[in-house]
Amino acid sequence: MKFFIDTAEVADIRELAETGLVDGVTTNPSLIAKSGRKILDVIAEICDIVPGPISAEVAATDFDTMLAEGRKLAKLRSNVAVKVPLTPAGLKTCKALSDDGVKVNVTLCFSANQAILAAKAGAAFISPFVGRLDDIGQDGMELIADIVAIYREYPMWRTEVLAASIRHPMHVTEAARLGAHVATMPPSVLRQMYKHPLTDKGLEAFMSDWAKTGQSIL
């Protein structure tokens, strides 16, 4: 499974990229607004930090403007994946950009039917929002399971399932178990994945015993 970081905060991206565990980054208009910076500057800087796909979302809702914005974003760097919403205009934009060889991430997916449309439109990634489904009393992971199962029946579709709206480490574990290709998560969730009280307790015991030997490896 690939790990993407869902943020536009360059400091967090730079720190986590140094671990070697980050395969890409996803952003959206809300994250860009939170950063307080200009989208073109932010995306270009992120692309220079992480060589994998960097999702940059269009801000328009009509086809002509979406396509123009998508093409401008794609020209920033070769690893930009243009992000479009799962609307008729968004899917039309996805098809046009995909036909031009641009990777497209279709976002705000909440049903398997929508995921089928995205795959047919040539999306490189489909982003089902598991956390938001959980918020309204549905099981977001059921959607991941459905999409993965459907895509497996059609190997000609190259769309990767990108589990989004990840809220906690168990979302990542379950998405991996179900076969999602990617999980995109806030920096805080990736950091939580390191943590286990028994790891801390075991390391403390090892360090205590080692100190008693008076040895040094170096």
Q: Examine residue 183 and state whether it is found in any structural domain, yes or no.
A: yes
pLDDT score, position 187: 98
Displacement of CA 217 from its chain's centroid (Å): 40
pLDDT score, position 3: 98
Q: Which domain holds residue 200?
A: 2-213
pLDDT score, position 43: 98
pLDDT score, position 44: 98
Residues annotated as part of the active site: 83
Instruction: Give the three-state DSSP class for 155.
Output: coil
pLDDT score, position 99: 98
pLDDT score, position 163: 98
Structurally, the chain folds into a number of domains equal to 1
pLDDT score, position 70: 98
Nearest to 93 by CA among 112, 78, 109, 106: 106
**Which residues of the chain fall below pLDDT 50?**
none
Q: Examine residue 47 and state whether it is found in any structural domain, yes or no.
A: yes
pLDDT score, position 137: 97
The CATH number linked to 180 is 3.20.20.70
Contact 159, 123 (CB under 8 A): yes
Q: Examine residue 218 and state whether it is found in any structural domain, yes or no.
A: no
Q: Which residues contact 82 (CB under 8 A, 6 or more apart)?
A: 55, 56, 57, 58, 70, 73, 74, 93, 97, 102, 103, 104, 105
Give the single-character DSSP code of 158.
-
Q: Examine residue 24 and state whether it is found in any structural domain, yes or no.
A: yes
pTM over 0.85: yes
Contact 105, 123 (CB under 8 A): yes
